[in-house]
Amino acid sequence: MKNIFTLLFISCLTQSVFSQINPVQNLEWNHGYDFPYNLFSLYWEEPEQPHDELIGYNIYREDELYRFMPEIIPLLCNPDFGEEEDCDFIFYNDGDAFTGYVAAVYQGGVESEYVSFEVEGVLLNTKEIASVKSKIYPNPVQSTLHFGEKVFEISVFDLNGKLIKSVSEANSINLNNLQKGSYMIQYQNSKGETIKNKFLKK
């Protein structure tokens, strides 16, 4: 009988020691505007290994659940390249500032500790979205950004307006060396028109 209790104790101890409900890693929130749009992106990475069976992620606005995601799908709003589904995310609490949270959700609905980010509220108080067909792809981009034709005077800027990279002409541009985040690209098409697009590097 004593051996049974010992085994039960060891089993419970093992489960508590090896149970891993780690929080998400490397959460990144970016928010800006390009008149007349509020633009933002929310990224995170899978919890540190090892961890228990992961079933998805909860995104909160204050203590209100905004969305459950079964996998890591960035929250994006940038109508310039057709990302509009989540644009209502910041229109919360009458457009005032709020705290957002992301929690990993494990088997049985157990949540990890929250990882928080601060939303400053709407920078431009408009919900109207006029879609503009993207001239660049894929977006978000991991390595190579394509234009669909030869373009000229290509310049890549960060959101502070600092020039990061420039190319005289190309059909595509390699962005492997860019850090994750939001950028703006400007170029001239074959008609001599200057085009500006925002893109996300993942």
| Dihedral (Cα; 22, 56, 16, 62), 10-degree rounding | 60
pLDDT for the residue 25: 96
Residue 47 CB contacts under 8 Å (≥ 6 apart), including other chains:
20, 22, 23, 24, 25, 54, 104, 112
Dmax of the chain from CA atoms?
Answer: 86
Distances (CA, A) of 162 to 6, 155, 196: 65, 10, 15
Between 97 and 124, the higher pLDDT residue: 97
Q: What percent of the chain has pLDDT over 70?
A: 82
Instruction: Please provide the size of the chain in residues.
Output: 202
Tell the residue number behind the tokens 């977006």, with chain if given: 139
Where do the structural domains in the chain lie, given as residue ranges? 23-119, 144-201
Q: Class for domain 23-119, per CATH?
A: mainly beta
pLDDT for the residue 26: 95
Separation between Cα atoms, residue 11 and residue 13, nearest integer Å: 5
DSSP 48-84: PSS-S-EEEEEEEETTEEEEEESS---EEEBGGGTB-
Residue 1, pLDDT > 60, answer no
Bridge partner residues of 60 (DSSP): 65, 101
- pLDDT tens by residue, 155-176: 998 877 789 999 999 999 999 9
Q: Name the amino acid, one letter, at 13.
A: L
| 6 — pLDDT class (breaks 50, 70, 90) | very low
Residue 65, pLDDT > 90, answer yes
Q: Name the amino acid, one letter, at 41.
A: S
Nearest Cα neighbor of 154 from 94, 92, 199, 114 is 199
The token pair that represents 114 in the structure block: 């929250």
Rounded mean pLDDT of 103-117? Answer: 96
pLDDT for the residue 148: 82
Rounded mean pLDDT of 180-184? Answer: 87
pLDDT for the residue 9: 44
Residue 12, pLDDT > 50, answer no
Q: Name the amino acid, one letter, at 85.
A: E
Separation between Cα atoms, residue 104 and residue 55, nearest integer Å: 8
Taking residue 20's Cβ as centre, other Cβ atoms within 10 Å add up to 14
